[in-house]
């Protein structure tokens, strides 16, 4: 008895077209808003950063989906569209709006099954859900875990240090800022369900801990005991 091979509905060319569409949509979102876009003072709210985040999430989501037995095509396409509306929709509606954009895009191509489109849009809509990941589909969970993991590790550390420059901080504040990355990373990892995501997250946090120790060993009087910060304005 032969093994049925599932043909992927998403070719490499189709994926590249989706990526281009998402980048163009993000760029247009910034260009059409007054003074350069919502929360424009932080570079992680630019089209360039948001698109890079989307690509990171798509790569992570694909890895998790393959290891966990999810439908990789659904997960990857949902990852590409999950933040497409991030720069032009209210934060509490960007997931729903992103699902609408994804549906319009996929349906206009006329080559994707309705069940595939529904599953992609459901994952996009689910990705901002704050409840237990056990309550969503496997494909939604893979996307949500990937979204969380992009904030853990080198990317989260670089963004936090970049924020220091915008707030006129010195390198003496770096240890405490990296400690915040560690704390947030641990909080994010508390949400993940899969062994794959947990393993990736722990490896990333281990590198952040190493960087924190490196800072302390080479910067005189480095300390985390400094005045408290104002409210955190980093990427969500």
How confident is the model over 4-42, as pLDDT tens digits?
445 567 899 999 999 999 999 999 887 655 554 444 545
144: how many CB neighbours lie within 10 A of its CB?
26
Neighbour tally for 97: CB within 10 Å: 17
- Structure-block tokens of residue 103: 């549906």
Q: Which of the four pLDDT bands, split at 50, 70 and 90, describes residue 222?
A: low
Q: What region, left, alpha or beta, does residue 165 occupy, with left being phi > 0 and alpha being psi -120 to 50 degrees?
A: alpha
- Greater confidence (233 vs 130) lies with 130
18 vs 8: CA distance, rounded Å = 15
Q: Distance from first CA to last CA of the chain, Å, rounded?
A: 49
Question: Residue 45: pLDDT above 60?
Answer: yes
Q: Is 121 exposed, middle or buried (0-12, 13-18, 19+ CB in 10 A)?
A: buried
Residue 108 vs residues 1, 112, 159, 200: alpha-carbon distances, Å: 38, 9, 36, 36
The tens digit of pLDDT for each residue in 73-121 reads 999 999 999 999 998 888 889 999 999 999 999 999 978 999 999 999 9
Dihedral (CA of 154, 84, 20, 200) sign:
positive
Q: Which of 205, 201, 85, 71 is nearest to 141 (CA)?
A: 71
Tens digit of each residue's pLDDT (9 = 90 or more) over 57-81: 999 999 999 999 999 999 999 999 9
Alpha-carbon distance of 91 to 85, in angstroms, equals 9
CA distance 57 to 147: 5
Global pTM reads 0.83
| 28 or 125, greater pLDDT | 125
Q: CA nearest 191: which of 235, 125, 140?
A: 140
Return the SS3 of 108: helix
């Amino acid at each position: 008895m032969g093994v049925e091979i599932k043909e992927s509905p998403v070719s490499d060319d189709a994926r590249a077209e989706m990526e281009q569409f998402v980048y163009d949509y993000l760029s247009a979102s910034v260009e059409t808003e007054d003074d350069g876009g919502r929360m424009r003072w932080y570079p992680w709210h630019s089209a360039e950063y948001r698109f890079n985040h989307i690509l990171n999430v798509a790569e992570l989501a694909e890895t998790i989906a393959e290891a966990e037995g999810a439908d990789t095509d659904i997960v990857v396409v949902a990852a590409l569209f999950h933040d497409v509306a991030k720069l032009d929709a209210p934060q509490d509606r960007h997931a729903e709006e992103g699902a609408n954009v994804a549906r319009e895009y996929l349906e206009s191509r006329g080559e994707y099954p309705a069940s595939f489109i529904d599953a992609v849009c459901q994952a996009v809509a689910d990705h901002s859900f704050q409840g237990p990941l056990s309550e969503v589909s496997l494909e939604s969970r893979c996307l949500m875990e990937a979204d969380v993991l992009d904030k853990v590790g080198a990317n989260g550390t670089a963004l936090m240090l970049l924020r220091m420059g915008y707030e006129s901080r010195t390198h003496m504040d770096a240890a405490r800022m990296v400690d915040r990355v560690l704390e947030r990373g641990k909080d994010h990892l508390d949400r993940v369900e899969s062994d794959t995501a947990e393993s990736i997250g722990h490896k990333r946090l281990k590198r952040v801990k190493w960087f924190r120790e490196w800072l302390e060993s080479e910067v005189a009087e480095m300390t985390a005991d400094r005045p408290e910060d104002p409210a955190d304005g980093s990427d969500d």
